[in-house]
A and B are shown apart, each in its own frame.
Chain A
Amino acid sequence: MTLHNLVHQKSGYSYGFLDPFAKRELRRRMLKGIAIPGCQIPYASRELPIARGWGTGGLQVTLSLAGPNDIIKVIDQGADDSVNAANLRRFIKRMTGAATTTDTTQATLLQSRHRFPEERLHEGQALILQVPDPEPLRAVESDMAKSRILHADADYGQMWLVLYEQLVQFGRYMQGASYPVMVHDRYIMSPSPIPRWDTPMLHQSAHLTLLSAGREKRLYAVPPYTNVFPLEFSDMPFEVEDQRTWVSHSTGVRNKFMTEIPQDDGASSYELSDTSYLEKIVNQQHGHPNTIAPTYYDEDGQFYHAGYLKRRDDAESTPDQ
């Protein structure tokens, strides 16, 4: 044993970039968040060498959880090869030495900007969602001190009023992505700007979901097997994006979340948003078998928790005007 072996090796940055105190604080906040599902926990968001608003909240969670044996997947809008996802993946790999993958089933930690994968996540996996605005009440109360009181009192009347006004004015709920959800019968939570298609995936999931906003310095969590329901009136159900007629351009697949791509002739083409799933389907169609996990929605568009989504008929959704 020499002195050289005993001393901490000189290095430019700590393992996982964050110093051990920052990582400890984040882990403690995460545990608190898991213990109080859907409750926003403030944390001292550290400055990272990535611009604020570009995933620094998710990144701090990933960096404080990742170890050398982890397998990391990073997606942005469903795509593994989006430039910002590529950049974050490169940074996490550089700072932790963890392996990276695009395969949803292989990953231990999945950091995502605004999408769930189509393949169902399993126990032991953690999905880390990047959050621009953690406060679901922002639209009805911009003052953070006041919205904290509303959460403490579970005083959510204004949120229901907004939904009611939308129904009166437009005949439907108008919230696009970030559809507010009720977690464990207690806290209204912003699920981050995931499409409504992904919202049900939070409910009674096998995996852990962590949501973190670096700029706003708040994180929150949905533990495995927790009830998560979108805000809806009993006679006017929440609806996911209606893509029933859309067909994936390169695979012919239906009933998975797709992106609309405008064409030169004014028409639209559609493609699967989950690029890893797309790649697996293409491989399969070309005779290269892969492991494809069961998906959240089946080929007919039925969600895997039967009865969770109550779809309105188009006829019923027309208001009496």
Chain B
Amino acid sequence: MAYVATKGGEEAIQESERLYHQLKGDVTREAVDIIIETMPYLVDRVMGEASLYSEELAALAIAQSGGELYEAILLLRAYRSTQPRLAYAQPLKLEDTLIVRRISASFKDIPGGQILGPSLDYSHRLLNLAVLEDDYEPDFNEAKRAETPAARNYPMVADWLRQQGMLPTVTTEADMPIEGADIPDVTRDALAVPAPRAHRLQSLARADTGGVLALGYASMRGYGFVHPTVNELRLSYADVKVKHPVTGALFSPGRVRTSQAEVVTNDKTGYKIGFAATFGWNEVKLIAAATLDIEMSNVGGHEALSEDFVLYHTEPLESSGFCIHFKLPHYVTFGSSTDNVRKVISTFYGDDAAGKESIIEATATPMDDLKEATTT
């Protein structure tokens, strides 16, 4: 049936939704638990892009959307936007997070040591086909425990660079106390460029992993200025700390997975540092995002690496929503442009129907030249 101008459009969309759910498995508590347990990196990616830290809700969104991730993020963002802001967490100091992985490409060894932690970086990417066999027995071979546990906290590599005078010093908390409520919030303010640094980092934290990677990769391949040296990449757990609304005492309502990346690059003016952080463990996104952080501050760089371009086009909800909106009927807009095109054809080529093919070909060139898009 046609999807417009038919009576019963409302019934049609409800049946369409039912069919979508019918063609995938049921959403059950068990399905949600399996997703949390077996796909933490997927859950992390979704929590990061949704900017809502809840493994349970993220897994539910993944299950409910059938793994259509943009839909999952939309479900979570729409839920998030209805939740009241009860409190602001205390600022988190990176050196206070509980590190599980921490590597630096800048130096062979770093104060505190390189901690390889959990990673597939050096795995052989071979499908384990044995799993599919009927008599497969899972191999629960746990990682070896170190004789002495690793330290909980580590100094920042960038601080060493600062001590050496290779990076400018930064304002410390003692100089400028931070109140959560004073930090610009991109979910509550309109994004304008040039953006406050908070908006930039928040936008990157919730940006589309694929989108950030595409633009970051473009910079690395040579469209930008940056050769990113991964100064420090961290995967950690962080205890969120909140002031009790009545007693004022600090307490932790929970622990979150978080990751941070710092990349450095050098040009004529010295070293520059780029930073990105997000909920969950998502290394590829953060290396690309930290690269873009430097790139966006460059003046006169490639337009596709400017702040305006990067922040607006890596927004997962807006980019995916706008892309799929082209499925909506556009016949009024299209009809408005056919009126012009027909007039131009008849003005320049007459009403000669016999030569229509050549007319269309000939018209194609000036039409292509016309930058003025008939947009919708």
**Contacting residue for A82 out of B191, B193, B329, B366, CB 8 A:** B329
* Residue on A nearest B339 in the bound complex, by CB: A241
How many residues on chain A are close to B (CB under 8 Å)?
Answer: 71
Whether the pair A172, B332 counts as a contact (CB closer than 8 A) is: no
Interface of A, secondary structure class, is: loop
Whether the pair B84, A177 counts as a contact (CB closer than 8 A) is: no
Whether the pair A176, B78 counts as a contact (CB closer than 8 A) is: no
- B23 beta carbon closer than 8 Å to chain A: no
Known: A47-B317, A217-B190. A83 touches B13 (CB 8 A): yes
Whether the pair B332, A47 counts as a contact (CB closer than 8 A) is: no
Nearest Cβ distance between residue B190 and chain A, in whole angstroms? 3
Whether the pair B4, A87 counts as a contact (CB closer than 8 A) is: no
Whether the pair B329, A139 counts as a contact (CB closer than 8 A) is: no
* Binary flags per residue of B1-24, CB closer than 8 Å to A gives 1, else 0: 001111111101100000000000
Known: A44-B188, A47-B78, A242-B343. A86 touches B333 (CB 8 A): no
Known: A195-B332, A215-B318. A169 touches B366 (CB 8 A): yes
CB-contacts of A28-78 with B (<8 A): 42-49, 51-54, 56, 76-78
- B373 beta carbon closer than 8 Å to chain A: yes
Q: How far is the CA of A175 from the CA of B12 in the complex (A)?
A: 35
Contacts of B344 in A (CB 8 A): 170-172, 174
Contacts of A275 in B (CB 8 A): 5
* Residue on B nearest A51 in the bound complex, by CB: B321
Nearest Cβ distance between residue A217 and chain B, in whole angstroms? 4
Whether the pair B9, A86 counts as a contact (CB closer than 8 A) is: yes
Contacts of B308 in A (CB 8 A): 143-145
Whether the pair A48, B78 counts as a contact (CB closer than 8 A) is: yes
**Count of chain A to chain B residue pairs whose CB atoms are closer than 8 Å in the complex:** 189
Contacts of A83 in B (CB 8 A): 3-4, 9-10, 12-13
Whether the pair A81, B6 counts as a contact (CB closer than 8 A) is: yes
* Residue on A nearest B16 in the bound complex, by CB: A83
Contacts of B332 in A (CB 8 A): 77-78, 114-115, 177, 193-195, 257, 259, 273
Most buried by A among B330, B348, B370: B370
Whether the pair A166, B325 counts as a contact (CB closer than 8 A) is: no
**Contacting residue for A195 out of B8, B333, B366, CB 8 A:** B333
Stretch binding the partner chain, chosen from A13-21, A293-301, A302-310 = A13-21
- B328 beta carbon closer than 8 Å to chain A: yes
Q: How far is the CA of A76 from the CA of B6 in the complex (A)?
A: 13
* Residue on B nearest A139 in the bound complex, by CB: B372
- B77 beta carbon closer than 8 Å to chain A: yes
Nearest Cβ distance between residue A252 and chain B, in whole angstroms? 19
Known: A42-B192, A77-B4, A81-B7. A52 touches B322 (CB 8 A): yes
CB-contacts of B315-369 with A (<8 A): 317-318, 320-325, 328-333, 335-340, 343-344, 347-348, 366, 369
Known: A42-B192, A44-B188, A259-B335. A54 touches B9 (CB 8 A): no
Q: How far is the CA of A144 from the CA of B190 in the complex (A)?
A: 13
Contacts of A87 in B (CB 8 A): 10, 13
Whether the pair A49, B337 counts as a contact (CB closer than 8 A) is: no
Contacts of B190 in A (CB 8 A): 42-45, 217-218
Contacts of B306 in A (CB 8 A): 143
Whether the pair B82, A13 counts as a contact (CB closer than 8 A) is: yes
- A84 beta carbon closer than 8 Å to chain B: yes
- A90 beta carbon closer than 8 Å to chain B: yes
**Contacting residue for B373 out of A49, A139, A317, CB 8 A:** A139
Whether the pair B372, A177 counts as a contact (CB closer than 8 A) is: no
Whether the pair A195, B10 counts as a contact (CB closer than 8 A) is: no
Nearest Cβ distance between residue B50 and chain A, in whole angstroms? 9
Whether the pair A54, B321 counts as a contact (CB closer than 8 A) is: yes
Whether the pair B321, A52 counts as a contact (CB closer than 8 A) is: yes
- B162 beta carbon closer than 8 Å to chain A: no
Q: How far is the CA of A321 from the CA of B187 in the complex (A)?
A: 55
Nearest Cβ distance between residue A313 and chain B, in whole angstroms? 13
Known: A45-B190, A81-B5, A175-B374. A51 touches B335 (CB 8 A): no
Q: How far is the CA of A85 from the CA of B332 in the complex (A)?
A: 15
Q: How far is the CA of A173 from the CA of B151 in the complex (A)?
A: 70
Nearest Cβ distance between residue A266 and chain B, in whole angstroms? 11
* Binary flags per residue of A192-209, CB closer than 8 Å to B gives 1, else 0: 011111000000000000
Whether the pair A77, B329 counts as a contact (CB closer than 8 A) is: yes
- A319 beta carbon closer than 8 Å to chain B: yes
Known: A19-B82, A115-B332. 13 other contacts (CB 8 A): A42-B190, A44-B190, A47-B81, A51-B317, A54-B325, A56-B321, A114-B332, A174-B340, A175-B340, A196-B336, A215-B318, A259-B331, A319-B347
Q: Give A residues with C-beta under 8 Å from B.
A: 13-14, 17, 19, 22, 42-49, 51-54, 56, 76-79, 81-87, 90, 113-115, 132-133, 139, 143-145, 162, 166, 169-178, 193-197, 215, 217-218, 241-243, 257, 259-260, 273, 275, 317-319, 321
A-B contact list, 27 entries, CB within 8 Å: A51-B74, A51-B320, A51-B324, A53-B318, A77-B4, A77-B330, A79-B4, A82-B3, A82-B5, A83-B12, A114-B333, A169-B366, A169-B370, A170-B370, A171-B347, A172-B343, A174-B344, A176-B339, A177-B374, A178-B375, A193-B332, A194-B332, A215-B322, A217-B191, A241-B336, A260-B338, A318-B347
